[in-house]
Amino acid sequence: MKYQAVIFDLDGVITDTAHYHYLAWKRLAESQGIPFDEAFNEELKGVDRMGSLALILARGSRSYTQEEKLALADAKNRHYQELIATMTPQDLLPGALEALEAVRAAGLKTGLASVSKNAFTVLDRLGIRERFDTVVDAARIANSKPHPEIFLTAAAQLGLAPRDCLGVEDAVAGVASIKDAGMVAVGVGSPEVLRRADYVIPSMREFRLGDY
């Protein structure tokens, strides 16, 4: 095996919290008189909370102080936390658990590189936190994806060089983060969208470690 670890994103790879983010951002945007739909929500994939808020508020007609922005971000996060509190292991994406089990069965380490500051909570709700050798604390990351910091941090926490790690992502920003970290990237989604990925699979059902 040419890799020593596989580092996964969370949203869209292990589970799909995108709908919960969509509902929380939609409520916040509309509370500010800003239209919000699923098409615009796609632009927020892989972007951290404050970055997403900046994109949303840029569509409005007024300016906000930093204190107002922080209050809005907190309000969105509280609503999101209420929504994810209902998650169970049934919310794992098809093929995700099997992928984790295959990686560990092959003797490789597993890491999680998610910009979500609620990643630990989601992993606990899904019942899979112990299946990861390391989970990057997004609160300690200075640069969001597409910057490579989060994947570089995951590799460092595993005690490995980036070239020894395979990254799995579903977002353009996430794939860019993997590639710029010097890792091989597996994209989950459309090859027309995830152009920088070295390999693209339609879903985690098709994840085959030996193919990469």
Q: Final residue of a domain: which of 64, 84, 104?
A: 84
Task: Answer yes or no: do 127 and 113 share one domain.
Answer: yes
Whether 69 and 49 have beta carbons less than 8 Å apart is answered as no
Report the percent of the chain where pLDDT is more than 70: 100
Residue given tokens 């998650």 in the structure block: 87
Task: Summarize the confidence of residues 41-65 as an average pLDDT.
Answer: 89
Tokens at 163, concatenated? 């070239």
Catalogue the E-assigned strands of 40-116: 109-112
Which residues are designated catalytic?
Answer: 9, 11
Check residue 67 and give its pLDDT.
96
Q: How many domains does the chain have?
A: 2
**Within this chain, do residues 204 and 151 fall inside the same structural domain, yes or no?**
yes
pTM for this model (two decimals): 0.85
Q: Please name which of 105, 108, 107, 125 lies closest in space to residue 116, comparing C-alpha atoms.
A: 125
11 burial type by CB count under 10 A (0-12 exposed, 13-18 middle, 19+ buried) = buried
Predicted local distance difference test score (pLDDT) of residue 116: 87
Please indicate, yes or no, whether residues 41 and 113 belong to a single structural domain of this protein: no
CATH number at residue 102: 3.40.50.1000
Q: How confident is the model at residue 48 (pLDDT cuts 50, 70, 90)?
A: confident
Please give the pLDDT value at position 144: 87
Please give the residue range of the domain that contains residue 144: 5-15+89-211
Residue 206 shares a structural domain with residue 103: yes
